[in-house]
A = this chain, B = another copy of it.
Amino acid sequence: MEKVNVIKVGGAIVEDPSSLGSFLEMFAAVPGKKVLVHGGGRTATAVAGELGIESRMVQGRRITDEAMLRVVTMVYGGLVNKNVVARLQSLGIDAAGFTGADLDLVRSSRRPAGEVDYGFVGDVEAVRGEMLAKLLDLGVVPVLAPLTHDGQGHLLNTNADTIASAAAAALSAFYDVTLTFCFEKPGVLAPDGAVIEEITEKSFREYVSDGTVSGGMVPKIENALGAIRAGVSRVVVTSASDLCGGTLITA
């Protein structure tokens, strides 16, 4: 099967012009078919602040009322996405920016209010993998913003890691998919600071129970293992400055 790389890059990297530039050069150099998924939370918080709108987060997730939905639609769908696309085009990459509403690529349902009402936040229901595959076959490099839609005309704010996992899983029907999460650290770190080279479903449970892996890294790896179960060949957690290193997560 032909290889496809789905690469997720966090907000901290895309929102700093210098780290964005070096990341995009590295992304441009990745051979073959590829998809980029980006965040943008810090810019959303900044623009919301300029508009006098307070950002409220619960467990790292943004409460998205109507005013905040307008902000993230502007920031993720417009400001961040289109600047990334323009820069990739200048590097000779035939990028096209999409939200989940475009081409019905990622459909979601609004998360029901439980203990927390996250507002206009979508849980992914379906990725249109065959359309993503058609775009890849045209030579297009899709750049996905963390927004989805409910099919009823409403946009929904959606976690970029989840979109990356769901897109990678959907593409696994057509390609041998590697899903890479880029962030600030060189990989999943042991308490002594060393990069853990490989994590499997089994060793993950041990690492969690002995405290080697904790905090925000736990849901990230759970998400990665879910992608593996959904057909993704391998997941890599690495630094945005080293797409070849990091922690490999496999079955």
Contacts and interface: CB of A to CB of B under 8 A. Distances in A.
B77 A104 contact: no
A208 interface: no
Interface stretch (A57-65, A151-159, A222-230): A151-159
A149 interface: yes
A75 interface: yes
Contact of A78 (B75, B96, B103): B75
Interface string A89-114: 11000111111011110000000000
A182 B239 CA distance: 49
Interface residues of A, number: 40
Nearest to A155: B86
A70 B79 contact: yes
A11 to B, nearest CB: 16
A95 B70 CA distance: 20
Given A51-B50, A102-B96, A134-B138, A83 B73 contact: yes
Given A73-B82, A74-B79, A83-B73, A149 B104 contact: no
Given A50-B51, A85-B99, A89-B101, 5 more contacts: A73-B79, A82-B147, A95-B101, A95-B103, A96-B98
